[in-house]
Structure formats: C-alpha cells, structure tokens
Amino acid sequence: MVPVALAVLVAGCGGGRAVGDYGKVTEGRIGATAEVEVAPGERFSLAVAENASVGDSWKLEELPDVALLSYIGDEYEHEGGSDTTGGGGTRYYVFNAKRPGTASVTVSNCWRCPAGRVPADEQSRRRSGEATFRITVR
C-alpha cells in the first residue's frame, strides 16, 4: 500500500502544470520571425508574452508536420510564478523534435477580440498580430 500512496503523492506534485519540462525556450513577438534550431529528440518551447487581463488571447494557428515535430501542449505561467490576477506572464507552446527538416509555426494574438477572433476596433487591430517561428531540426 505504501508504494501506491507514494506514487499518488509524487504524481500530485506538479504545481498545477501539465507540462513539466519546457526544454529549450525561444521567445517570439508580434511581427517578428524567431529562428529555432534543435536536434532530433530535443524538447523545445515557443514562448510569447501574454496578459489575458488586458486582452491578450494567443492561439496556435496550425500544427506543423507531425513527422517532424510532436506537439506536446501549451502552458501559461504568471510572471514571477504568482497566480495574481491582472499580472502578465508567458504562454509556452511545447514540442519535441523528431527528425531533421524545417517547419514554420505561427501563433496569433487577437487582442480584445470577441469570440470570433476578429478585432472589434482599430485599437484591437493595431495590437493583434502573428509571431512566427522558423524551426530547423538538424
């Protein structure tokens, strides 16, 4: 009975995150292309600054070729590790590299957009946009 209890205790110690390892992190931003170079078998993350309380809403546009990259999932971490409402943080899109090749991944931020992800006004259009990541697996 002790091994089962220990396994449950260890499994519950993840800090509320589904992804425990972000691997190599590359930061991106609206209007820019970030270069990412990884090796087969390497875990890596594409990161963008996010603050939902001011209107950020990031979305992975399309999954890349599954023969090249495995998509693990996305995670949000508050700045400084705090769960304080209103504070910003970082959105991580986590992948594993599988085999040599190149791919492009785009994430878009629709700032203060309604459910249809169409900017509602000029300010929303100016603050919305895409961050592109060019990934090379060597």
Return the residue matching tokens 């693990």.
Answer: 72
Determine the Cα–Cα distance for residues 78 and 87; give it in Å rounded to an integer.
Answer: 7
CATH of the domain at 111: 2.60.40.2020
Q: Is residue 5 part of a domain?
A: no
Please list the residues that pair with 130 across neighbouring strands: 108
Q: Is residue 2 part of a domain?
A: no
Q: Is residue 54 part of a domain?
A: yes
Q: Is residue 78 part of a domain?
A: yes
Angle at 29 between CA 44 and CA 70, to 5 degrees: 25
**Alpha helices for 2-138 (secondary structure H):** 2-11, 122-127
Return the residue matching tokens 């950020």.
Answer: 56
Determine the Cα–Cα distance for residues 28 and 37; give it in Å rounded to an integer.
Answer: 14
Largest CA distance in the chain: 61
pTM for the model stands at 0.82
Q: Is residue 1 part of a domain?
A: no
Q: Is residue 125 part of a domain?
A: yes
Range of the domain at 61: 21-137
For each of the chain's 138 residues, which pLDDT tens digit applies?
444 443 333 334 444 556 779 999 999 999 999 999 999 999 999 999 999 889 999 999 999 999 999 999 999 998 866 556 667 999 999 999 999 999 999 999 999 998 888 898 999 999 999 999 999 999
Determine the Cα–Cα distance for residues 57 and 136; give it in Å rounded to an integer.
Answer: 27
The domain tally of the chain equals 1
Q: Is residue 110 part of a domain?
A: yes
